[in-house]
Amino acid sequence: MNDKIRVLMVGPDRGVHGGISAMVNTYYDAGLKDRVELKYIGTMKEGSKAGKLIVAVLAYFRFLFSLKDSDIVHIHASSDSSFMRKSFFVRAAKRHGKKIVFHQHGGDFINYFENQISTKRQRYIRKVLDMADVLLVLTRSWKDFFGRLTDENKIVVMPNGILTGAVSGGSLDDSCQNIRAHDTDKVLFLGRICKDKGIGELLEAIDRIHIDRPLVKLYLGGIFEDTDYIKEVEKRAPYVKYLGWIDGQNKKKAFDDCGIIAVPSYFEGFGLAVIEGMLNGCCVVASGVGGILEIVEDGKDGILVNPKDSVSLEQGILKIMDRKIDVDLLVKNGREKVLKKYSAERIVDKIVAIYNKLYFAKK
């Protein structure tokens, strides 16, 4: 007899190039599927609007069919259309009397809620949030915000995490003691290549740096959401290289080759690339926005710069390139922080504990 808790999880397809899919895949790799009976339903795939609608509708009917065999429903959502799609799943789970874990990831949710929707839509969102038994958010500041929309006692801060077991090896001290910064003339960017991720400012900063430091290289790993940047990258071919979407060993090689990871986002719910860079020995130069402010301590384990400001970004990068700061200490502190606070293995422990609490509370 299988005595595992049956969890029905909903989110974008695991093959989608995005932060939620990456996080879900990390949960799988960190052993969540071995601790509970886990079924995952992808509600969105990349493609045309019509194709996305078909995927969403089919996913909803699969979800309804699967509800009877689940104990807990765990729903991942972002902002705008993602939240609205997932609201139908929340309501269905509530009608069937299921315990609901609603996991909010959207980096621009506050702007969406306060500036982009009607009062009627705001009331609807509050109603949906009230249906959740547990609301997971990525940062303390988000807990404060969502605590004004629903019962703050059910809100749990659950930061994103990354697998650390293979890196840490022995003790935490051993894994951090001899780490050194890589080639700081090489800058890495990972993520969606679009305006909101600060690509325009990053290209401008690298243009100016390249004038005095001709060996500088910028490597872009991701997908072009804004195709206008394809030509911008191509015309900088001598010092800007597009890597495509990278993962696995290709991502590891990029981290090993590059000494700096740039995260110049306009807004960021958490900033997975920040902790990935920290774990892999890169100096982080990131915008002081959203969840990044709760990860990076400026000057200690990374450099914070102003968003939408190519000059501030340039100065932050040059601070590392010109060794105006102890870069080896910077990367050592960064790795220590990730191993202590952002280990996916530890985060999975916390998620399973939440499942257990909900499951046994209903007995």
Indicate if 153 and 188 belong to the same structural domain: no
Q: Judge if 335 and 192 occupy the same domain.
A: yes
101: in domain: yes
Same domain, 300 and 182: yes
With 0.85 as the threshold, say if the pTM is over it.
no
1 located within any domain: no
Residue 274 and residue 303: Cα distance in Å, rounded?
11
Give, for 90, the enclosing helix (H) or strand (E).
helix 80-95
For residues 326 and 184, state if they share a domain: yes
Tell me which residue has tokens 């949710």: 109
**Cα dihedral 265, 267, 269, 273 in deg (nearest 10):** 0
Confirm whether 192 is domain-assigned: yes
Same domain, 80 and 10: yes
d(CA 251, CA 154) in angstroms, rounded, equals: 37
Per-residue pLDDT in tens (0 to 9) along the chain, 363 residues: 468 999 999 999 998 887 889 899 999 999 999 999 999 999 988 878 888 889 989 999 999 999 999 999 999 998 888 899 899 999 999 999 999 999 998 778 888 999 999 999 999 999 999 999 999 999 898 999 999 999 999 999 999 999 987 554 444 444 555 566 689 999 999 999 999 999 999 999 999 999 999 999 999 999 999 999 999 999 999 999 999 999 889 999 999 999 999 999 998 888 889 999 999 999 999 999 988 999 999 999 999 999 999 999 999 999 999 999 999 999 999 999 999 899 999 999 999 999 999 998 865
Same domain, 74 and 103: yes
Give the total number of structural domains in the chain: 2
Residues 153 and 170 in one domain: no
- What's the domain range around 283? 165-341
* CATH number of the domain that residue 336 is part of: 3.40.50.2000
Considering the domain boundaries, does residue 228 fall inside one?
yes
Q: Strand locations in 120-248, DSSP E? A: 134-137, 155-157, 186-193, 217-224, 240-244
173 in the same domain as 129: no
